[in-house]
């Protein structure tokens, strides 16, 4: 029997997702969250359509939680879109069998991708294993994609000498303006754009809620949920 088509060009892509189901706000309350549906689904579909394999990793290997707000019709172009995204998520067997970020070997993968949602603000921003993986991926030259609040993970990518590995890189990330418009800027302990700038990262701010992707060396970043699909397209170019 003939083997699967395109086996020769298939790559293995690691999706690193938040493992938390809440985001602790400045007043100590826990806001229910997780990963943002579109930011996982759109790239997943693009990568799978191109014939690539996907493995999901989370801190501790916990099954990731989807932010229920991200399944609402208003964030998916209406009820039909919301139903489609929910159906795709339900079919993603990879989400139910995550590996532990702590046990990931970068040599096993051809590219790494971090979706967002407010979850990374809670765990990946301070996760040492994820930070180490990001540094390794950045230094390896392998394609690295990070979208929306996913760049919170960059804050944990601190080199042994103390500097942030992403300092000097041009990136797109969820902006202070978008956080304000989403109603969380005055509730958050800290703002992503501000923290990244403080770490020496060159945040390229685009228009709110409009697709905005920045490519700098092997790093591909997107500003918001709408940037997920365009980011996937750019990442696929680097795997070609």
For 25-72, the pLDDT digits (tens) are: 999 999 999 999 999 999 999 999 999 999 999 999 999 999 999 999
- CA distances for 9 relative to 38, 52, 94, 96, angstroms: 26, 8, 21, 26
- Confidence check: pLDDT of 187 > 80: yes
Q: Are 190 and 230 in contact (CB under 8 A)?
A: no
What pLDDT does 8 receive? 45
What pLDDT does 1 receive? 41
CA dist 142 and 211 (Å) reads 23
| Sheet containing 12-16, strands listed edge to edge, beginning at the edge strand earlier in sequence | 99-100, 53-58, 12-16, 111-114, 144-147, 219-222, 213-216
CA dist 224 and 222 (Å) reads 6
pTM: 0.95
The tokens for 134 are 């990001």
Q: Are 21 and 204 in contact (CB under 8 A)?
A: no
The tokens for 130 are 């994820």
What pLDDT does 240 receive? 84
CA dist 225 and 64 (Å) reads 18
What pLDDT does 7 receive? 40
- Which one, of 46, 57, 56, 82, lies nearest residue 227 by Cα? 46
Q: What is the 3-state secondary structure (H, E, C) of 117-152?
A: CCHHHHCHHHCHHHHHHHHHHHHHCCCEEEECCHHH
């Amino acid at each position: 029997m003939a083997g699967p088509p395109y086996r020769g060009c298939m790559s293995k892509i690691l999706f690193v997702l938040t493992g938390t189901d809440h985001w602790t706000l400045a007043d100590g309350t826990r806001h229910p969250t997780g990963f943002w549906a579109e930011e996982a689904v759109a790239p997943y579909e693009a990568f799978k359509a191109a014939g690539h394999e996907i493995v999901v990793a989370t801190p501790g290997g916990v099954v990731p939680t989807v932010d229920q707000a991200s399944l609402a019709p208003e964030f998916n172009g209406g009820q039909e879109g919301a139903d489609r995204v929910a159906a795709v998520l339900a079919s993603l067997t990879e989400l139910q069998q995550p590996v532990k970020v702590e046990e990931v070997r970068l040599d096993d993968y051809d590219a790494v991708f971090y979706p967002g949602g407010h979850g990374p603000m809670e765990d990946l921003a301070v996760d040492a294993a994820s930070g180490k993986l990001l540094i390794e991926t950045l230094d390896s030259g392998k394609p690295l994609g990070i979208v929306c609040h996913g760049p919170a993970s960059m804050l944990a990518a601190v080199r042994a000498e103390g500097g942030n590995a992403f300092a000097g890189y041009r990136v797109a990330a969820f902006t202070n303006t978008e956080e304000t418009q989403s109603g969380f800027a005055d509730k958050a302990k800290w703002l992503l754009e501000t923290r990244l700038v403080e770490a020496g990262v060159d945040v390229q701010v685009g228009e709110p809620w409009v697709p905005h992707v920045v490519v700098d060396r092997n790093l591909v970043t997107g500003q918001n949920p709408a940037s997920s699909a365009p980011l996937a397209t750019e990442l696929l170019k680097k795997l070609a």
